[in-house]
Amino acid sequence: MASSLLPAFTVRRGEPVLVAPAEQTPRETKTLSDIDDGEGMRFYSSGIHLYRANPDKQGVDPAAVIREALARALVPYYPLAGRLREEAGRKLVVDCEAQGVMFVEADVDLTAADFGDVQSPPFPCFEQFILESTTVAGVEPVIDRPLLYIQVTRLKCGGFIFGQRFCHCVVDAPAGMQFEKAVCELACGAAAPSITPSWGREMFMARQPPQPSYPHLEYSEPAGGAVDRMLTTPPGDVARVPFFFGPREIAGLRQRAPPHMSRSSRFELVAACIWLGRTAALGYGADEEVRLSFIVNARGRRDVPLPEGFYGNAFAYSVAATTAGELCTGGLGYALELVKKAKSAVTYDYLLSVADLMVLRGRPLFALSRTYIVSDVSHAGFKSVDFGWGEAVYGGPAKGGEGPIPGVTNYFSRSKNGKGEEGTVVPISLPKDAMEKFQLEVECLTAEI
């Protein structure tokens, strides 16, 4: 893991500029899907890539290379250079007028080695390496703002940091990676991106008339109980600890799983373990409903007819729900059963049902109370983003989770421990008095029998 004790430094940013498409692009309005424009999508997701110096690139300015490739990539991906506008019913559309994406160059007297062996989010001092826009009452609007912010920070060793912030309404993680790889290909000399982008948002529009066909617990508050302490604990009273689930921990979880579930996926095992331990540690009442909500990616599913090159949001939140008492009594096997059931629930019909609900209920935010929300980015391929300087030393989310409340939403990412073993790392945030109990719960669940 990387040390957070970086030498004292100051990032010297230049003046941000708008980078427009390198060629003339269509002037038109494109409608987002009814999955794209929910309240829970209206934020910017941050990512960072750290690169060492490359002797073959001595004297080459990475900021200039990336800026030129970015302008060229925005020709086929021209909607990303547009601006969001809200129409009746809170419907979002993109006005494509080649307004451009925000770009800034920066310099800092640090080396790639100063960051240590950074393996998982949050990236040290990430706020200094991503470009943020102005906020209004503590909220960062997405309407009539650039859809992408990029900062390229040159390091004194010859390496650099690439920091980006994408409006989630327009792309999800795989879609953002598709665009970044297009920029990489152009930066490395390609004449055009290898994947031709496809808008394709019409496939996730609400039906007429809208008819939600699932309960969609993710958009209703859980039953029973008092206000969730995770939503009221002051940030200063929250502890943050990264938990590593390597070969030993996964083996321990498999031994505790019922025989017919011993071949569960790594994600299912880790998610069930954390949900169970977190519920016990927070001391919820036995009759209080608790939930695990996680993103299920629709890409690659036979029943979801995504066009090749699609770069919109193609996922839904699925929910496993029960009472705290039933979860803690049922143990890992019961939690796994609920996770598997929720995971299999997301079909194309489910996605259309989400779109229907968005239209009928004003595009609501997903529920947060007594809910643990997980996004697994283990297989996103962040490190493969190569602008010509080689594979990233670190590539992944800038933060440990998104949203204003620490610990409610977490990223699962790939990492290595001190022994060089690969595993899943999860940065857990809990009230300080609950963290020790959580650690004990996880140790018991993962210890090999």
Q: What is the 3-state secondary structure (H, E, C) of the chain?
A: CCCCCCCCCCCEECCCEEECCCCCCCCEEEECCCCCCCHHHCCEEEEEEEECCCHHHCCCCHHHHHHHHHHHHCCCCHHHHCEEEEEHHHEEEEEECCCCEEEEEEEECCCHHHHCCCCCCCCCCHHHCCCCCCCECCECCCECCCCEEEEEEEECCCCEEEEEEEECCCCCHHHHHHHHHHHHHHHCCCCCCCCCCECCHHHHCCCCCCCCCCCCHHHCCCCCCCCCHHHCCCHHHEEEEEEEECHHHHHHHHHHCCHHHCCCCHHHHHHHHHHHHHHHHHCCCCCCEEEEEEEEECCCCCCCCCCCCECCCCEEEEEEEEEHHHHHHHHHHHHHHHHHHHHHCCCHHHHHHHHHHHHHCCCCCCCCCCEEEEEECCCCCHHHCCCCCCCCCEEEECCCCCCCCCCCEEEEEEEECCCCCEEEEEEEEEEHHHHHHHHHHHHHHHCCC
pLDDT at 406: 60
> Tokens standing for 109?
């007297």
Distances (CA, A) of 45 to 62, 176, 366: 23, 10, 17
- Residue appearing with tokens 């800038």: 398
> What phi, psi does 59 have (nearest 5°)?
85, -5
Q: State which residues of the chain have pLDDT below 50.
A: 1-3
In this predicted model, what pLDDT tens digit does every residue of 23-63 receive, in sequence order? 999 999 999 999 999 998 999 999 999 999 999 999 999 99
pLDDT at 405: 61
Among 2.30.30.90, 3.30.559.10, 3.30.300.30, 3.30.390.30, name the CATH number for the domain at 217-446.
Answer: 3.30.559.10
Contact criterion met (CB below 8 Å) for 146 and 100: yes
Predicted structure pTM score: 0.91
Q: Where are the domains of the chain?
A: 11-204, 217-446
Largest separation between any pair of C-alpha atoms in the chain: 64
The yes-or-no answer on residue 216 being catalytic is: no
Spell out the residues 6+ positions from residue 9 whose beta carbon is closer than 8 angstroms to its own: 108, 109, 110, 128
Burial class (CB in 10 A: 0-12, 13-18, 19+), 165: buried
> Tokens standing for 361?
């209920």
Choice among 34, 36, 168, 376 that is catalytic: 168
For the CA atoms of 169, 140, 430, 121, the dihedral, rounded to the nearest 10 degrees, stands at: 70
- Residue appearing with tokens 């290379």: 65
Residue among 326, 322, 340 at smallest CA distance from 261: 340
> What phi, psi does 151 have (nearest 5°)?
-125, 125
> Tokens standing for 367?
């529920």
Q: Work out the end-to-end distance of the chain between its first and last CA atoms, rounded to an integer number of angstroms.
A: 28
> Tokens standing for 389?
């300087």
Spell out the residues 6+ positions from residue 357 whose beta carbon is closer than 8 angstroms to its own: 210, 212, 216, 219
Establish whether the linkage from the previous residue to 193 is cis, with ω within 30° of 0: no
Is 11-204 in CATH node 3.40.50.720? no
Spell out the residues 6+ positions from residue 139 whose beta carbon is closer than 8 angstroms to its own: none
pLDDT at 3: 44
pLDDT at 302: 84
The yes-or-no answer on residue 168 being catalytic is: yes
pLDDT at 403: 62
pLDDT at 352: 96
- Rounded Cα gap, residues 445 and 320, in angstroms: 20
Burial class (CB in 10 A: 0-12, 13-18, 19+), 139: exposed
Spell out the residues 6+ positions from residue 434 whose beta carbon is closer than 8 angstroms to its own: 281, 282, 283
Q: Exposure string (b/e) for 301-315, b if CB count within 10 Å is 16 or more?
A: eeebebeebbbbbbb
- Rounded Cα gap, residues 186 and 70, in angstroms: 8
Choice among 37, 114, 172, 386 that is catalytic: 386
- The answer to whether the 11-204 and 217-446 domains have the same CATH topology is yes
Contact criterion met (CB below 8 Å) for 126 and 399: yes
> Tokens standing for 138?
């503590």
> Tokens standing for 429?
């945030």
